Amino acid sequence: MVGWFRAALCGAILACGLTPATPCRAQTLTIAVGAPVTSIDPHYHQLSPNTAVAQMIFSGLTATDGHARLVPELAEGWRPVDATTWEFRLRPGVRFHNGSAFTAEDVAFTFQRVPNVPNSPSSYAIYTRPIREVQVVDPLTLRLTTASPYPLMPTDLASVMILDAETHAQATTEGFNAGPMAIGTGPFRMASHRNGDRIAFERNDDYFGARPAWQRVTYRMITNDAARTAALLAGDVEVIDQVPTSDLAKLRGDARLALSEITGLRLIYLALDHARREATPFATDGEGRPLPRNPLQDPRVRRALSMAIDRGAIVERVMEGAVIPAGQFLPEGSFSHVPDLAPTPYDPEGAKRLLAEAGFPQGFRLTLHGPNDRYPNDARIIQAIGQMWTRAGLRTAVEAQPWTSFVARAGRQEFSVFLQGWGSSSGEGSNPLRNLVATPDREKGYGASNRGRYSNPELDRLLAAAMQELDDAKREALLQQATRLAFEDVGILPLHIQKNSWAMRKGLAHDARADELTRAQDIRPAGAAR
Partner 1 sequence: MTVFLLRRLLQAAAVVLVMSLLVFLGVYAIGDPVEILISPEADQIERERAIRALGLDLPLWQQYLVFLGRALQGDLGRSFVFNEPALQLILQRMPATLELAVGATLVALVIGLPLGLYAGLRPHAPVAKGILAGSILGFSLPTFWVGLMLIMVFAVQLGWLPSTGRGETVTVLGMRWSFLTRDGLAHMVMPALNLSLFKTSLVIRLTRAGVRETMLMDYVKFARAKGLSPARITFVHVFKNILIPVVTVVGLEFGGTIAFSVVTESVFAWPGMGKLIIDSINVLDRPVMVAYLMIIVLMFITINLVVDITYSLLDPRVRLEGKS
128: how many CB neighbours lie within 10 A of its CB?
Answer: 21
Q: Which residue, 119 or 473, has its beta carbon nearer to partner 1?
A: 119
Q: How many residues bind partner 1 (CB under 8 A)?
A: 56
Question: Angle at the Cα of 322 (from 338 to 47), degrees rounded to 5?
Answer: 80
For position 329 contacting partner 1 by CB under 8 A, the verdict is no
Pairing of strands 141-146, 131-138: antiparallel
For position 405 contacting partner 1 by CB under 8 A, the verdict is yes
Task: Using the rule CB under 8 A, give the single segment among 65-73, 358-366, 440-448, 458-466 that binds partner 1.
Answer: 440-448
Q: Which of 28, 404, 472, 474 binds partner 1 (CB under 8 A)?
A: 404
What is the spatial distance between Cα 341 and Cα 327, in angstroms, rounded to a whole number? 6
Least distance from C-beta 267 to partner 1, angstroms? Answer: 12
User: Which are the contacts of 276, defined by CB distance < 8 A and separation ≥ 6?
Assistant: 294
Least distance from C-beta 420 to partner 1, angstroms? Answer: 9
Q: Coil, strand, or helix at residue 139?
A: coil
Least distance from C-beta 445 to partner 1, angstroms? Answer: 3
Q: Which residue, 327 or 421, has its beta carbon nearer to partner 1?
A: 421
Least distance from C-beta 452 to partner 1, angstroms? Answer: 15
Give the footprint of partner 1 on residues 213-272 (CB under 8 A): 220-224, 226-227, 230-231, 233-236
Q: Which of 9, 16, 18, 36 binds partner 1 (CB under 8 A)?
A: 36
Q: Which of 62, 173, 396, 483 binds partner 1 (CB under 8 A)?
A: 173
For position 128 contacting partner 1 by CB under 8 A, the verdict is no
Q: Which residue, 90 or 163, has its beta carbon nearer to partner 1?
A: 163
User: Amino acid letter at 200?
Assistant: A
User: Which are the contacts of 88, defined by CB distance < 8 A and separation ≥ 6?
Assistant: 61, 75, 77, 78, 107, 141, 142, 143, 144
Q: Which residue, 331 or 371, has its beta carbon nearer to partner 1?
A: 371
Q: Which residue, 67 or 444, has its beta carbon nearer to partner 1?
A: 444
Least distance from C-beta 456 to partner 1, angstroms? Answer: 19
Q: Which residue, 269 or 346, has its beta carbon nearer to partner 1?
A: 269
To 10 degrees, what angle do helices 299-307 and 348-357 make?
Answer: 160
DSSP assignment of 415-465 equals: -SEEEEEEE-TTSBTHHHIIIIISPPBTTTTB-TT-TT----HHHHHHHHH
Task: Using the rule CB under 8 A, give the single segment among 36-44, 137-145, 247-255, 517-525 that binds partner 1.
Answer: 36-44
Q: Which residue, 275 or 526, has its beta carbon nearer to partner 1?
A: 275
For position 147 contacting partner 1 by CB under 8 A, the verdict is no
Q: Which residue, 81 or 408, has its beta carbon nearer to partner 1?
A: 408
Q: How many H-runs (helices) and E-runs (strands) does the chain carry?
A: 16, 20
Half-sphere exposure at residue 181, Cβ-oriented, CA atoms within 13 angstroms = 20
For position 408 contacting partner 1 by CB under 8 A, the verdict is yes
For position 431 contacting partner 1 by CB under 8 A, the verdict is yes
Sign of CA dihedral 491, 496, 497, 500: negative
For position 449 contacting partner 1 by CB under 8 A, the verdict is yes
Half-sphere exposure at residue 146, Cβ-oriented, CA atoms within 13 angstroms = 22
User: Which are the contacts of 77, defined by CB distance < 8 A and separation ≥ 6?
Assistant: 88, 89
User: Which are the contacts of 66, defined by CB distance < 8 A and separation ≥ 6?
Assistant: 262, 511, 512, 513, 514, 522
Sign of CA dihedral 263, 265, 271, 274: positive
1: how many CB neighbours lie within 10 A of its CB?
Answer: 5
Q: Which residue, 208 or 403, has its beta carbon nearer to partner 1?
A: 403
Binding site residues, partner 1, CB under 8 A: 36, 38-39, 41, 44-47, 118-123, 125-126, 129, 173-174, 177, 194-198, 220-224, 226-227, 230-231, 233-236, 373, 403-405, 407-408, 411, 422-423, 425, 431, 435, 440, 442, 445-446, 448-449
